[in-house]
Chains A and B, each alone.
Chain A
Amino acid sequence: MTDLLQVLPDFDTKPYTHLLPSLDRALITVNDLVTLESADVAKRAQLPAGDLRRLVDAVIGSLHQHLGFGGVEFGASSFLSASGKPASGRISTLDEKLDEALGGGLPPDYLVEVTGESGAGKTQLLLTLLLASQLPPPSGLSKSAVYISTEAPLATTRLTQLLSGHPKLASLASSAKPSLSRILSIQTPDLESQEHIIRYQLPVAIRKHNVGLVVLDSVAANYRAEFEKRGPRDGAASMAKRGTQLMQLGALLRDLARTEGISIVVANQVADRFTNPPPSASVSNAVSRSTSANSQGVEPEGIQQVTPIASQGEETLVLSPDPLALDHQQRWFTGWGDNRFDSPQTLKTPSLGLVWTNQIACRIALIKEPVFADRRNMGTANGQDPSTEEDHHISKWKRWFKVVFAPWTPSSDDRGIEFEVRKKGIHHVSKET
């Protein structure tokens, strides 16, 4: 049958093997078996009704069991009380401020995305997590990690550097130290191998090696390469197919995280965003606009209720025009653009669009911005005029760690936590320096 083993991988199909091929041919899914009368399904697939009814009953029984109803009373639930101690199993970033922003660290069971420009620090953060997951609680899960790379191989030299240089790692005794041997790494250069490895090999590896963290670096790379190969003629169809594959990947990773109790962190790239700058933040202008709207308003859609409230003299809040436009809402769920005073040139959007955003549970954005220095005062060695070309050059980069949305912790205020990447790892920038 088309999706029986995907929905119920442990289902015993032996008594029904004679039914499955016909169901397959008739394109009947488990959803159909549950919603349609078994007599109708039997007619459609040309199978004996009695046999089919038995199959349907078995499938429904199995689904109920999966949900936790296995024949026993659906009694008092221990979901809330079982949680117990907060942050008992979290993977730390090995920096207090960043951990604070994350509400203690990354918990298991969720699909998390780390997104940012190249050079923002994504790989550095991921490498830190690979080491931290091996530490005992509260910094880690005492488990191994898997690193799936679609581009470069695992940066083992950097890992060694972190082990010897990071203040939280260098001081540990060698028996308690994380080791590279507990990080399994694999490269998936194309979509097909990525799909195969994640679907079939990864669950086995997780159980065999007691893995607590899986890192996929990066998710966008294979999709871009694959779907750009096909010509412009196929553009639309391949876009749709990409959407479907992304959803399946998301569902697969989410399910894996939940059933195996691990954390899955995926790195994602960004692209530039083109958008109009927001209207100027003058409240008075906007308020006058709204009152004129009210005076004209004969629209029956809920405006009348608002006018009497406004006349009571309370502070009125004016919303943006067209607040549900993608361009507007994406300022808040991408991580870039939620500050009115940001220049539009620096805005980025994570790749793979809204489809992928809907798959992830948490998004962490690493925001990078240049700091310009004026070069006008520098002398000219060879007589060239210094003020023509580059009056400004980038003296350094500032980086921020921002939790855009997460189920377990509130989103970061403002830009997030400023941090820097040093030889000894990722550390927040304290205000005094």
Chain B
Amino acid sequence: MAGQDTPMLTSSSSHRLPTVSASQALQSIQQRGTRAVSTGLGQLNKILAPQGLPGSNIQGGLVRGKITEVYGPSGAGKTAFGIQAGVNALCDGHHVVWVDAAATLVPERFNNVLFARNSSNPTVPKVIGAIASTEASPPKLSPDELQSHFHHVSCPTLAHLLALFVRPPSSFPPPNTRLIVIDSLSSLFDNAYPRNVDDRTSRSKGDQARWASGRKFAVMNELISMLAKMAAMHDIALLLTCQTITRIRGGSRALLVPAISGTEWDNGISTRLVVFRDWVPAKGKWNDMDADKLRKARYVGVLKANGVIMAEEGGIGNVVPFAVDSSGLCDIQMAAVDITPPTVPNALQLRPPKRRFTEIGDSEDDDPDSDELYGWVEDDAVAAEGLLIDDQVPERLEDGAGPPTNGAREPPSKKVVQ
């Protein structure tokens, strides 16, 4: 059984990408049509457009051959993002593979977006090709045919995912696949390699134990390099979604960061997006329809686009607002002003959190210590029980509802001069 898979032997055997001459490459770029799967949001596609040839207007979005990561808290819109991209890829006539790692995709939800997209504008796709003449408009497929191009896989454990991507079966990925979505990849890593304080503090570990505890990053690095390889070799856009965990930054500021991170991992991700929610804006000049959309507003921040880092950790980069409803994602016509939080808050005003001696280890940034684990200490249950680590809390309560320009209450005072 496994003998059939010998062509994709092991990770160390190199598969050389076919070499072409430069002029051939230029021609094939122009002929291959769209270089990206549309996200469904025009503004976002523009920001994510890769550097094109002068004179050509290359469609942006989830770039083929590269990995895009979307992270955000529960309910922010990561799966909705993946669904819209999947529908767009299907409507272009290509195949889509959806890998579920945690909650299963709801078929009705996907179908609603698919039928909405299919019925709205079948002959003028949202994806405008680079050079329209070279790619024929996508074939008009029946809904049944479109549905049959959608392949769903459930990966209950990390081992299953590794078997799929590191040792792929011969029929994977299916031909003409243009997009692979892995929904909630971080859940698999969290379950396979739980963050355990004991690992770090115990000194008397045998060689085996030390090796085992280093495996997490080794496996992560292996996975990201195999994902990148698969994406590049088959010219597939790969979209990963990731949940958030809490990290303490700069004193006692609890920030939501991606649950999977590491140097190699971050290098393998070509584009990184964060999806989050915020206050519904107060009454402005918008009409009723927009107001309704605004209530469902989400925001996607571009932290890294095609290898170029655009914002640091905790920042939100260039932000595009959008709305989610049963027919998918849609743009909200307005610009979002970026207020990037500074990376170093005013140190004088914040006292460092109290930590016990044993918890201070020579930890690398990758391994959170106990205080940072999942925001336990920021968890208000802990605060309620009197185990406050954040000494700032009583001060804030005393201040009451002070005006927002009170610099002491909002430690990261942006770039506004008080």
**What separation, in Å, do the CA atoms of A244 and B399 have in the docked complex?**
37
Of the listed stretches B22-30, B61-69, B208-216, B230-238, name the one at the interface; the rest are far from the partner chain.
B208-216
Q: Using Cβ atoms and an 8 Å threshold, which residues of chain A touch B393?
A: 274
Cross-interface CB contact of A316 among B76, B174, B336, cutoff 8 Å = B336
CB distance from B180 to the nearest CB of A (A): 13
Chain B residues with Cβ below 8 Å from A275 are 380, 396
Q: How many residues of A contact B (CB 8 A)?
A: 127
Query: Which of B103, B147, B274, B339 makes the CB contact (< 8 A) with A80?
Result: B147
Shortest Cβ distance from residue B408 to the other chain A in the assembled complex, whole angstroms: 11
Interface residues in B, total, Cβ within 8 A: 146
The number of A-B residue pairs with CB atoms under 8 Å apart is: 377
Inside 8 A of B103's CB, which chain A residues have their CB? 110-111, 254, 361, 407
Known: A239-B373, A319-B316, A353-B375. A81 touches B339 (CB 8 A): no
- Give the distance in Å from the alpha carbon of A314 to the alpha carbon of B331 in the complex: 14
Inside 8 A of B375's CB, which chain A residues have their CB?
326, 353-354
B414 touches A (CB below 8 Å): yes
Shortest Cβ gap from A391 to chain B (Å)? 21
Using Cβ atoms and an 8 Å threshold, which residues of chain B touch A309? 335
Give A310 to B336 CA distance when docked, in angstroms: 8
B410: chain A residues at CB < 8 Å are: 279, 321
Inside 8 A of A359's CB, which chain B residues have their CB?
187
Docked-complex contact B379 and A31, CB < 8 angstroms: no
Question: What does DSSP make chain A's interface, helix, strand, loop or mixed?
Answer: mixed
* Contact status A283-B284, CB under 8 Å: yes
Q: Please give me the residue from chain B that is nearest to A271 by CB atom.
A: B381
**Other-chain residue from B317, B378, B401 in contact with A302 (beta carbon distance below 8 A):** B317
A288 CB to closest chain B CB, in angstroms? 9
Task: Select B374's contact among A312, A321, A328, A355, beta carbons within 8 Å.
Answer: A355
Q: Which of A159-167, A291-299, A379-387, A417-425 contacts B (4 or more CB under 8 A)?
A: A291-299
Contact of A74 among B160, B172, B244 (CB under 8 A): B172
Chain B residues in contact with chain A, CB under 8 A? 1-3, 5, 10-12, 47, 73-76, 79, 98, 102-111, 114, 144, 147-160, 162-164, 166-167, 169, 171-172, 174, 186-187, 190-192, 194-198, 201, 208-209, 211-212, 215, 218-219, 222-223, 243-246, 253-256, 259, 274, 276-279, 281-282, 284-286, 295-296, 299, 302, 310-312, 314-319, 321, 324-326, 333-341, 356, 358-359, 370-371, 373-376, 378-381, 383-384, 387, 393, 396-397, 399-401, 403-405, 409-410, 412, 414-417
21 interchain pairs (CB within 8 A)?
A35-B222, A57-B2, A69-B169, A69-B172, A78-B148, A79-B150, A80-B107, A82-B107, A251-B187, A272-B380, A273-B380, A275-B380, A290-B339, A292-B417, A293-B415, A321-B412, A349-B380, A353-B381, A355-B374, A407-B105, A411-B75
A-B pairs with lowest CB-CB distance, top 9 = A405-B75, A83-B107, A236-B370, A279-B404, A63-B163, A79-B152, A57-B2, A271-B381, A361-B103
